[in-house]
Structure 1
Amino acid sequence: MDISVVVPLYNEEESLPELIAWIDKVMGENNFSYEAVFVDDGSTDTSWAVIEELKKTYSTIKAIKFRRNYGKSAALNVAFEATQGDVIITMDADLQDSPDEIPELYRRIKEENYDIISGWKKKRYDPITKTIPTKLFNAATRKMSGIQLNDFNCGLKAYRSDVVKTIEVYGEMHRYIPVIAKWAGFNKIGEQVVEHRARKYGTTKFGFSRFVNGFLDLLSIFFVGKFGKRPMHFFGSLGVLSFLLGTIMALWMIGVKLYHIAAHIPYKREITDQPLFYISLVAIIVGSQMFLAGFIAELLSRNAPERNQYLIEKEII
């Protein structure tokens, strides 16, 4: 099968008939064999009934329905497991992503050998309350990941099959799939300017909280990707540094006190009366705790069942 089109959705009953008709038209014009994998993320409208009705007309439809709303990342992760196509195309169900972009996305994956092609909605029809935070997150993600994409959160993306079969997406991490893929060893990531259409039906399903959650998930991805198999390098380094700074401050105060005593110079201030004493004490305690946290995390990592699971691209036996 050439293409799997993955469509996560939540309360999109109005747009589904038009979307699948558009996808089918594009696939037919380009002689692609395809499947359309819809994941109903706990919709409260008649989206599932619409999908069941559309299945009677379009045999290419596969569908999964969650009992409740888990979020876009969960929908994508489940859909990725169900796909059978050589190239996976993800797109939103609200008709803001154009299926007409699919042939070029497919071509670049197959002919230019990219792992991922991420869409870039260069001209957007979103309100400023959405576009400004998105720009900030894109800039932060570029800085932390080193991946030079302009629009990490674009729902329209293309993947080689082995990419989506390898990675795991959860939380709010769907917007950082290129980062997750890079940590997994898929480094050929490209970008393509795509059409962004004004919303035709309904309202956006995302609130401001997604930006807070997205930032926290970005930190999680960065930490796990860099230190997931060697937590002692992170906690231990900070712990040792804090412990040494605290010890140096404490020794300096003790040295000053002993110098005054040896030189018979009056020194009325007790060590415990100085703010520096408490700063050094906190630094020593925090350093010790961080070192112990790193040691425990290292033990857990070494005893985890996946501790020696590594991604092998090729093998000759």
Structure 2
Amino acid sequence: QIDGLVRKLEQGCDLVMGWRHPRKDWPLNQTISRVFNWLIKRVSKIELNDVNSGVFAARRDVLEDVPMYGNLNIFLPILAARKGYVVSDEKIAQLPGEFRKSKYLTEYIQRLLDIVTVIFLTNYSKKPLHFLGFIGLVFALVGGLMNLYLFFYRVFQFGPIAGRPLLLLGALLLVIGIQMISIGLIGEMIIFTHAKEIKEYTIEEILE
């Protein structure tokens, strides 16, 4: 199976993902994997069929250049493509050890969190305020409208508001919204400070 991946590297690709085809594992696993990969395609705009196969071949310079930590190995082809490397996939046979059922709900929850990570890394890693600021603004507006409603409710003597859960919820949303906007601003300041050190491209050749 590795031979097919290596052949694609020799043809000019920088990273080749293994595409498990046909899939022979549990039907629910296949369905979740298809949905996950479809969402990854939509978010990253990269045409890969099996991002989470775990089987890939890559040039040494790709592995040295693309930052990796935690569970980011799943997103290696996406991060490599963002830096200008040529990424593709190749069909491989599925390993026998993968024909098992997923036993834990946490596996599926982790995949949802992985999708959020991909969205952030591919679209907002250089502009965190756009991501956190939008969510924070929605929270703050909803919380502010709740508190404004209660303000007029009290002013026009419709009744007391001190013990109403809506007051606590409105205040909580307002505080969370302001905090998220603040975190986004801090992120923008950090990126601005280190902008010269961050490269989203790779120089393959300098022509003189």
In structure 1, distance between residues paired with 2:169 and 2:109: 32
| Residue identity matched to 1:170 | Y
Quick one: which of 265, 276, 286 aligns to 2:166? 276
Closer, same or farther: CA 216–238 of 1 in aligned 2, 3 Å: closer
Map 1:32-111 onto structure 2 (within 5 A).
Answer: 98-102=1-5, 104-107=7-10, 109-110=11-12
TM-score normalized with structure 2 length: 0.71
Closer, same or farther: CA 302–212 of 1 in aligned 2, 3 Å: same
TM superposition shift of 1:147: 2.4
Quick one: which of 60, 66, 80 aligns to 1:167? 66
Kindly provide the CA deviation profile for residues 159-216 of structure 1, in whole angstroms up to 9, marking residues without a partner as x.
4554333212332332322122233343x433322344646xxx99x98566655554
| Residue identity matched to 2:130 | H
In structure 2, distance between residues paired with 1:256 and 1:198: 65
TM-score normalized with structure 1 length: 0.51
| Residue identity matched to 1:189 | V
| Residue identity matched to 1:279 | L
TM superposition shift of 1:103: 5.7
Q: Which of these two proteins has the greater Rg computed from alpha carbons? A: 1
| Residue identity matched to 1:141 | I
TM superposition shift of 1:122: 0.9
1:143 is the counterpart of 2:32: no
TM superposition shift of 1:239: 2.3
Q: Which has the higher strand share?
A: 1
Closer, same or farther: CA 253–150 of 1 in aligned 2, 3 Å: same
In structure 2, distance between residues paired with 1:99 and 1:290: 45
CA contact 2:37–2:49 (8 Å) conserved in 1: yes
Q: What SS does the aligned partner of 2:22 have?
A: coil
In structure 2, distance between residues paired with 1:273 and 1:207: 44
CA contact 2:51–2:75 (8 Å) conserved in 1: yes
Q: What SS does the aligned partner of 1:190 have?
A: strand
Unaligned runs of 5+ in 1: 1-97, 261-266
In structure 2, distance between residues paired with 1:270 and 1:151: 57
Q: What SS does the aligned partner of 1:289 have?
A: helix
1:178 is the counterpart of 2:77: yes
Closer, same or farther: CA 161–140 of 1 in aligned 2, 3 Å: same
Map 1:1-317 onto structure 2 (within 5 A).
Answer: 98-102=1-5, 104-107=7-10, 109-110=11-12, 114-126=13-25, 131-186=30-85, 188-196=86-94, 198=96, 213=110, 215-258=112-155, 260=156, 267-304=157-194, 308-310=197-199, 311-313=201-203
Counterpart of 1:36 in structure 2 is: none
Closer, same or farther: CA 170–217 of 1 in aligned 2, 3 Å: farther
In structure 1, distance between residues paired with 2:84 and 2:126: 15
Closer, same or farther: CA 315–218 of 1 in aligned 2, 3 Å: farther
Q: What SS does the aligned partner of 1:153 have?
A: helix
| Residue identity matched to 2:187 | A
Unaligned runs of 5+ in 2: none
Stretches of 4+ aligned residues off by more than 4 angstroms: 125-133, 206-215, 314-317
Superposition CA RMSD, Å: 3.6
Counterpart of 1:26 in structure 2 is: none
In structure 1, distance between residues paired with 2:27 and 2:142: 46
In structure 1, distance between residues paired with 2:54 and 2:147: 55
Q: What SS does the aligned partner of 1:243 have?
A: helix
Give the length in aligned residue pairs: 203
Q: What SS does the aligned partner of 2:51 have?
A: coil
